[in-house]
Amino acid sequence: MHASYRAASSVLFAAVFLAGCSPAATGGSNASPAGTSATGPSGTDARGGPQGAIAVGAGPQTTYTVQKQPPAGSCHFRYEKGEPLEDLACTPGAVSPAVTQANLKSTICRKGGYTSGIRPSTSVTGKEKALNAASYGYKGRMGDAEYDHLISLQLGGDPNDPRNLWVELPEPGHKAGGGVNNRKDPVETKLHTAVCSGKVTLTAAQKAIVTDWTTALSTLGSGESAAAGGNALPGSGSP
């Protein structure tokens, strides 16, 4: 009887051991944990949006210093219906820890403005812009390209994190020497209005801009369209 009991115990132990060593149990190549999304290139999810939370930068500083930029020629513009988009790897965006959903009224939504007091000086951004132009291989007139905060300051973007700044090309058909001209600025202003009126959350607006600024308004749906006056991109005139 004891021998039979020991034999049965051995068989049971072996079965449990083998089950525990299966790929699904050990997290092997066949495992598919619940709640995870498929990932794509350059830190994007299966739909092309940013994977996970947006990076958090250092926030507003008393004194800003010139930030190191990606190596020359390592960044590449993307295009959506002719509109320039940032390189997902070089410019993934970064938010400021000083701006949260809870303190909107005292930061980006406060009367009298917020961005002018936290914006780096041109003595810093001018040097960064030249370096970033080399990163993206931009050889046009510097005055025609904007050194742009991917997540704008009025949407809680970090003021001087290199992950949040890029040389944004002028609009298609733009005349050389005509100065900065892009459609992204009005989109940011409409999103700012929507956030401050409570129609869109700060995080939703930030993620929409990072994913694709040209579709940010339509992505946010009817809540944003009420604040923006429609989901179409605004006109191409300078803001």
User: Does residue 122 carry a pLDDT above 80?
Assistant: yes
| pLDDT single digits (tens) 212-236 | 999 999 999 733 332 333 444 333 2
Q: How much is the pLDDT for 134?
A: 98
Q: How much is the pLDDT for 173?
A: 64
User: Does residue 4 carry a pLDDT above 80?
Assistant: no
Q: Which of 19-33, 100-114, 160-174, 217-231 has the lowest mean pLDDT?
A: 19-33
Higher pLDDT, 137 or 43: 137
The pLDDT of 23-41, averaged and rounded, is 31
The pLDDT of 28-37, averaged and rounded, is 30
Q: How much is the pLDDT for 44?
A: 41
| pLDDT single digits (tens) 47-105 | 334 457 999 999 999 999 999 999 999 999 999 888 889 999 999 999 999 999 999 99
Q: How much is the pLDDT for 172?
A: 66
Q: How much is the pLDDT for 178?
A: 52
The pLDDT of 99-112, averaged and rounded, is 96
Q: How much is the pLDDT for 183?
A: 86
What region, left, alpha or beta, does residue 121 occupy, with left being phi > 0 and alpha being psi -120 to 50 degrees?
A: beta
